[in-house]
Amino acid sequence: MRVYHGSTMRVKNPTVERGRPSTDFGKGFYTTTNFEQAEKWALIRQRNAGADAKAVVSTYEVDDDLLEKKRYETLRFSAPDGDWLSFVVECRREEIIPHSYAIVFGPVADDKIYETIDLYESGVIDAEQTVVRLKINEFYNQISFHSNEAVRELRFVGAEEV
């Protein structure tokens, strides 16, 4: 299976240490099976980094059965449901305690989704209303790697400036 990572540089040897905390699935190395989503992430990072920055999508191959491998504790979300919502909200908190998963797969929470999550966190809407609102959005997936052993599953194919 091919997966992609959007950045301001070619990432031949990914690592979990450089990941940002308070992200959808916690600190880790994030990929997606959708090239356009990785391109979007790369362009956002380029815009935030300044005029001299590049937007680069790195491509990797991983085994098709990656999410089924027993040696990794893997968490899978097939849709933005209540469990996904609780996990994302917990991971995005400042005072988070890191989870024990090596790999997490599920929908991406984009800017529109964050607005809905903010309404939920502030108590304006409940979990059920939040999930209903989330289901009307188009979702891309993300596969995040949270251990160095798991990130070694990524076999670098190449990178291209977008």
Nearest to 57 by CA among 11, 22, 14: 11
Which pLDDT score is estimated for 50?
83
Residues of the chain with pLDDT under 50: none
Using one digit for the tens of pLDDT, what is the confidence trace for 105-139?
Answer: 998 866 667 677 778 888 898 888 887 777 655 66
Tokens of 83: 């469990």
What pLDDT is recorded for position 122?
Answer: 85
pTM: 0.85
pLDDT value for 58? 98
Angle at 110 between CA 107 and CA 116, to 5 degrees: 100
pLDDT score recorded for residue 138:
62
pLDDT at 149: 96
Q: What are phi and psi of 94, to 5 degrees?
A: -65, -40
